[in-house]
Structure 1
């Protein structure tokens, strides 16, 4: 029997915005369709987001659920290599990091 689940990139189900405060990144994840919010809640966990950003030195992730908006806010600690004034990377603000999150794959039924 064929498995009905499949992996798709997160950008097929949601869009994202990013902002920064020092060495802390805020990523909002907004479902394109309200009915996909429960799937995103199940798949896009704090642990998975932390693992995704571990190579950048992230030390903690907090997820805030906003079901009435079909959205989440992720606060990622120590991911901006010191922040806009201290980082040597090209994106000290972390704006492009929303695309890293949107490249994550999720399992859909």
Structure 2
């Protein structure tokens, strides 16, 4: 991808502490109004495994958000719907006053993804 003015590109594994520290450090103490998590694993076709891995990516992004998101800020995330998605929703409700669940019209009916 070609560089964009004012944009810092960081490539790393969001579940690794060094990547989380790098992201937090890039803000230099500032806080974000919005954090977007569009993380998704390489899909295996095994829904339980795919859901688990995607949830780990989301929880890593949520962890970083607790350090960089302004009070009242927005955390927008893709979530794979599955058997245990209510547990994930409960975890998110611990950090946010409001939780909105939407499935974009452009998403396939068979897709597991939702935006929260």
Instruction: Tell whether the structures are fold-level matches, with TM greater than 0.5.
Output: no
Q: TM-score, normalization: structure 1?
A: 0.29
Q: TM-score, normalization: structure 2?
A: 0.28
Q: Which has the higher strand share?
A: 1
